[in-house]
Structure 1
Amino acid sequence: MFNKLIAGLIIVILSLVGLFMYIYYSLEAAEETSWAQHNSAEEAGFNPEALEQARTYYESINSTAVIVISEGKVLLSWGDVSKNTNAHSVRKSFLSALYGMEFNNGTFRMFDSLADHEIEDQTPLTTIEKQATISNLMTSTSGVYLPAGEESWGMRMARPSRGSYLPGEYYYYNNWDFNVLGTIYNQQFEEDLFSHFKTRIAEPLGMEDFELGNTNYKYENRRSRHPSYLFRMSARDMARFGQLYLQKGQWEGKQLIPEEWVERSTSPQVEVPSNSIFDYGYLWWVATEPPYSELNMYSAVGRYGQSIDIIPELDLVFVHRVDSNRLSFQLNRNSVNDLQRLQLLQLIIDAKRRED
């Protein structure tokens, strides 16, 4: 009995030591960054007391990390902004950037069809479905209503019956469209989209936490032959991606993403009747209602509270994360909804001192 107690105590001690070391190195990693930082909120033109109110709200919801970049410098950083966690549907805006580069190179054309790229699935496509174009896929209007990987229960329930609409006729947030875009992209190159993201975006931007080991394809063959392309990424690396877009695709004097594509993809392309704030661009959400439309805001948004919100009128990037990989989330599904996320963003916006 005594030996069992000693063994149990040793296990507890080792667990606590491991936890302490994890926290220590996580905090250490979060402190070491090449991001320039504002010396103070006042210097950046923000009211520190108002930012504290925003911090209080942040701590009252289920957020796990927030970072705000103002005028190219870190304004605030809450939580573990260096931890790579599931980006969920923010991944779609990453792919939009890669497509923008390739449109410029002539690899793809917006009117290329599924037939042109010989796309099929477990359930054969109809002649009409094969007429859907890359443009339709990027605006989630393909009219192909088949099972897809990474679909939520709500997406499955909302999926129209097959053949309900022609390509380009109806918006339905459709993971089939998004996953097929990944397949079409990968068919054209010896390297895949993850490798291209690393060499063409992550490395030029100096992303601090990104590794190919934090990307993977999720195959759900009983649903579809087209896998989901999943990214785990840190908040501070997402902020670099947002800053790249805020700078119209430029980074350190180099045009990484064509400026024309940045503007086109982040402009509304289709109306989203079920959303009172955003319409849809090319794999980006675009604010079309005040107050955010007045700030020209556009966003990459993912399930459970992930976002990169870009606000050109304020020269500001806001990144919000909920770590859906952590055990407590798996048990309780404590997410942050869009209204909570936007409320937090609004508190930060309101903290900015306006010139009279």
Structure 2
Amino acid sequence: MIIVTFFILLFTFIVVSLNVNHSASHEVNTTWEWHESPEEAGWSSEQLQVARDYYDSLNSTAAMVIYDGKVLLSWGNVSHNTNAHSVRKSFLSSLYGIEEEQGNINLNKTLAELNIDDEPPLNEREKQATIENLLTSQSGVFHQAGEESWTMRRNRPTRGSHEPGTHFYYNNWDFNVLGTIYNAETEADLFEKFNVEIAEKIGMEDFTLYQTEYSDELRRSIHPSYLFRVSARDMARFGLLFLQNGKWGNEQIIPNSWVERSTSPQAEVPGNSVYDYGYMWWVATKGPLSELGLFSAIGRYGQSIDIVPEKDIVFVHRVDSNRRTLGLFQRSVNQNQRLHLLQLILDAKLDLPEAELNSL
């Protein structure tokens, strides 16, 4: 009897774990404007339900779509700050764009000129890598780094095997060192700058500096990782900022030229069936979504800000990586699943003349 009771409780726990995040959207106070209905905005409620059913089958914990500057759909808890993982890199990229235009950062400076080293030390060839090489993940410095996944460690090339600027390897060493360089060159703190230069200006509703931290893993590298916990609806604002070419209201927050450069392919990514790489942004260069101009900020386990300029869409997808099935197994949504969900949403757009849309 005890064993039977145990398995009943275990089964109940699994069901709750799998479904707790697929309840109706959390309605909270917000300054976002909403479309009155999908049909009013030119979308099919029936087809969006197909996308919702697929979303409910995944490990997703939140999703949002912004169309024409307003919320089209909001699923899950979109106001909960969770680990953004590698989306943090696109946040930092935007700060580099601001500082470069102001003349505070020179992308051609080398690690040697910037007095960047590590433990164990870099060699002279590695020190010839430039800031631009780091932004495109082509530094040629294949040093251990903090926040590395098992795949990163497995795929890391041998040190000294490639010249700076000649080989793409998705490299947390490059990304973490960019944080060190930014703080040194600006004599400021990247979290505080992000708060003042971006979060406050675009009206992020949940972001606070208490949700940021530097993470040291000194056994791997002296350069810390910079971690953000951000909500889906604040990620949507950041995506909308880029969809609007760096402009918010009447203010050009991120230089238009930087938005264009950073979201254009700068490095070929071998083995990726969809993306190449920009300045810490993923840029679709293959498949049907590339024809729509897709570019993405992507993080581990299924975090993303996917921007589709040709459809005037920002799609945000979240998986709360602190939630685990049975307390052991990491929740995750892979690239194919996330992009299939995005495609199902895009399929819900009604391609009707404006006069017919207005009559709906």
TM-based fold match above 0.5: yes
Partner of 2:228: 231
Q: Distance in 2 between matches of 1:97 and 1:46?
A: 32
- Stretches of structure 2 that go unaligned for 5 or more consecutive residues are 1-19, 354-360
> RMSD across aligned C-alpha pairs, in angstroms?
1.5
Q: Does 1:135 align with 2:135?
A: no
Which residue number corresponds to residue 112 of structure 2? Answer: 115
Q: Give the fraction of aligned pairs with identical amino acids, expressed as a percent.
A: 63
Distance 1:262 1:81 in 2: 25
Distance in 2 between residues matched to 1:233 and 1:27, nearest whole Å: 20
Q: Per the alignment, do residues 303 and 330 of structure 1 end up closer, same or farther by CA in structure 2, a change over 3 Å counting?
A: farther
Paired with 2:59 and 2:25, the residues of 1 have a C-alpha distance of 23
Report the secondary structure of 1:182's partner residue: helix
Aligned pairs (5 A) from 1:287-298: 287-298=284-295
Distance in 1 (alpha carbons) for counterparts of 2:246 and 2:148: 30
- The answer (yes or no) to whether the contact 1:205–1:240 under 8 Å persists in 2 is yes
SS of residue in 2 equivalent to 1:179? helix
Does structure 2 conserve the Cα–Cα contact (< 8 Å) formed by 1:65 and 1:79?
Answer: yes
The question of 1:46 aligning with 2:43 is answered yes
Tell me by how many angstroms 1:189 deviates: 3.3
Q: 2:71 aligns with which of 69, 74, 78?
A: 74
Which residue, out of 343, 348, 355, partners 2:352?
Answer: 355
Mapped partners of 1:325, 1:30: distance in 2 = 22
- Report if the CA contact (8 A) 1:265-1:284 is conserved: yes
Count of residue correspondences = 332
User: Where in structure 2 are the equivalents of 1:150-165 lying within 5 Å?
Assistant: 150-165=147-162
What's the counterpart of residue 16 of structure 1? none
CA distance in 2, matches of 1:240, 1:329: 33
The Cα shift of 1:325 comes to 1.7
**What CA deviation, in whole Å up to 9, does each residue of 1:139-184 have, x standing for no partner?**
0000001100000111001000010000001000000000000000
| TM-score, with length taken from structure 2 | 0.90
**Contact 1:139/1:171 (<8 A) preserved:** yes
Aligned to 1:302: 299
Counterpart AA for 2:323? R
Q: Does structure 1 conserve the Cα–Cα contact (< 8 Å) formed by 2:323 and 2:330? A: no
Amino acid at match of 1:174: N
1:266 maps to 263
Query: Does the 8 A contact of 1:70 with 1:315 survive in 2?
Result: yes
Moved over 6 A (4+): 26-29
* Superposed counterparts of 1:1-356, under 5 Å: 30-328=27-325, 331-355=328-352
Conservation of the 8 A alpha-carbon contact between 1:323 and 1:329: no
8 Å contact kept, 2:324–2:331: no
Structure 1: where are the runs of 5+ without partners?
1-22
Q: Compute the TM-score of the two structures, normalised by the length of structure 1.
A: 0.91
8 Å contact from structure 1 (residues 246, 312) kept in 2: yes
Shift of residue 329, structure 1, vs aligned partner: 7.9
CA distance in 1, matches of 2:159, 2:110: 19
Checking the alignment, whether the CA contact within 8 Å between 2:112 and 2:128 is kept in structure 1 is yes
Amino acid at match of 2:57: S
> 1:30/1:121 Cα in 2 relative to 1: closer, same or farther (>3 Å)?
farther
Shift of 1:48: 0.4
CA distance in 1, matches of 2:59, 2:329: 11
In 2, the alpha carbon distance for the partners of 1:315 and 1:65 equals 20
